Amino acid sequence: MNEVNILEVLHETAYAEQGSALEMLAACKHASKNTFAFGYFEHAKDEYKHAKIFLEILAKKTRNFPVEFSKQYRFTPLGLLSKGYISKSGFLIERLNLKDFIAFVYTNELLAKESFSKISQLLASNIDEQKLISLIMLDELRHHEMAKNHFLKYYPNLQPFHLLLYRIREIIKNKSRKLYHQNLLFLEKIFYPLYRLIAYGAVPLLRLISIAEFNRTNVNLMSISSKGLL
Phi, psi of 96 (to 5 degrees): -115, 155
Q: Which residues fall within 8 angstroms of residue 134, CB to CB, at 6 or more apart?
A: 120
Phi, psi of 163 (to 5 degrees): -65, -35
Mean pLDDT of 16-31: 94
Domains of the chain: 3-170 (1.20.1260.10)
3-state secondary structure of 32: coil
Q: What is the pLDDT of residues 85-129, one digit of tens each?
A: 898 899 999 998 888 888 888 888 878 888 888 898 989 888 999
What gap in Å lies between CA 180 and CA 28, rounded to an integer?
Answer: 30
What gap in Å lies between CA 64 and CA 174, rounded to an integer?
Answer: 31
Helix axes 127-154, 98-122, angle to 10 degrees: 160
> Which of 125-129, 150-154, 160-164 has the highest average model confidence (pLDDT)?
125-129
Nearest to 47 by CA among 127, 143, 123: 143
Question: What pTM does this model have?
Answer: 0.70
Lowest-confidence pick of 30-44, 115-129, 163-177, 201-215: 201-215
Q: Which ranges in the chain belong to alpha helices (H)?
A: 3-30, 34-62, 67-70, 79-82, 92-95, 98-122, 127-154, 160-207
Taking every pair of Cα atoms in the chain, the longest distance, rounded to a whole number of angstroms, is 83
- The answer to whether residues 116 and 141 touch, using CB atoms and an 8 Å cutoff, is no
3-state secondary structure of 125: coil
Neighbours of 199 (CB within 10 A): 9
